[in-house]
Copies of this chain bind each other. A is one copy, B any other.
Amino acid sequence: MGKYKRSERTVMLSKRLLENPNKIYPLKEFAKDMGVAKSSMSEDIKLISNLFKEKKFGEIETTYGALGGVRYKPYTNQEGSKEILDNLKEVLQDSNRVLPGGYLYYSDVIYNPQIVEKLGLLFATKYKDEKIDYVLTIETKGIPIAMATAKYLDANVVVARRENRVTEGPVTTINYISGSSRRIQAMSLNKRAMQPGKNVLILDDFMKAGGTAKGLSELVKEYNCILQGIGVIIDTEKPRKKLVDEYYYLLKLKNINELKKEISMSTNKVIEDYKP
């Protein structure tokens, strides 16, 4: 036995794994850090792994061989995702959120670190079997959900801008048609922001007709990257026909009645239980 008790080692191990999702740590490195034999370390990891499985905290995956090690894959289960979606719906249906013009006030929700981490966990669960290199979004309100999801997927965030700034260096600019206002808009991205051949997940806070998501997917093509999915926090029921074919949403906004101050939303079907 080294200088730490098992109950201390399991804390240090889980801390490291929880703070670095989807990174592979060599068992040897862990054993050295803790000052114990590799066999004790394996037992510690088995304990954590069984506990995570039982509590549905996600998966602790052990791989063997030269590049082997231990890795934490965060995901939630059916019950967990239902709880997150139901809470989100309840918070957003609050009648005080109706804005003049029939818009929805939700900035406080997507900028709340605790809430957005939970939503990120849902997207990370949905896309856990894809290898994602970049989470691509457009300024402004898509950034928090992109950051939260990218952390879980061990990806980097890339943010397209609506205006081109001299301080950003050479950019690629594309024009796209905003689905709802039918206006021509532009988005720009630094030339070096994405390397060719990489896997991209597009995330945004809101989708109406899908024009922005379509623009972002064209940016993915322009950089010779591979689009792995599109996700939004809030989708709208109308228009029914969107400019992108496949996408995943958390909530669907069915109607806002400005006069009665009523918001009606539905949740997407919950994520199925993980079967390892």
Contacts and interface: CB of A to CB of B under 8 A. Distances in A.
A107 B12 contact: no
Contacts of A91: none
B103 A8 contact: no
Copies in the complex: 2
A19 to B, nearest CB: 7
A192 interface: yes
A10 B7 CA distance: 6
A83 to B, nearest CB: 15
Interface string A156-172: 11110100001111100
A190 interface: yes
B144 A161 contact: no
Given A113-B147, A116-B147, A144-B147, A107 B168 contact: yes
Contact of A156 (B57, B108, B151): B108
B103 A166 contact: yes
A244 interface: no
B20 A19 contact: no
A219 to B, nearest CB: 15
A36 to B, nearest CB: 13
A122 B2 CA distance: 31
A15 B107 contact: no
A105 interface: yes
Contacts of A155: 113
Given A105-B190, A113-B156, 7 more contacts: A7-B10, A20-B114, A101-B167, A111-B147, A111-B159, A113-B157, A144-B147
For the complex of A and B, list the 9 residue pairs with the smallest distance between their C-beta atoms, beginning with the closest: A99-B169, A113-B151, A111-B157, A7-B7, A139-B140, A143-B143, A6-B7, A7-B10, A103-B167
26 contacts: A4-B51, A7-B10, A11-B11, A11-B48, A11-B51, A12-B51, A15-B18, A18-B19, A19-B117, A99-B169, A100-B170, A101-B166, A105-B192, A107-B168, A111-B159, A113-B147, A113-B150, A113-B151, A113-B155, A139-B140, A140-B140, A140-B161, A143-B147, A144-B147, A147-B147, A147-B148
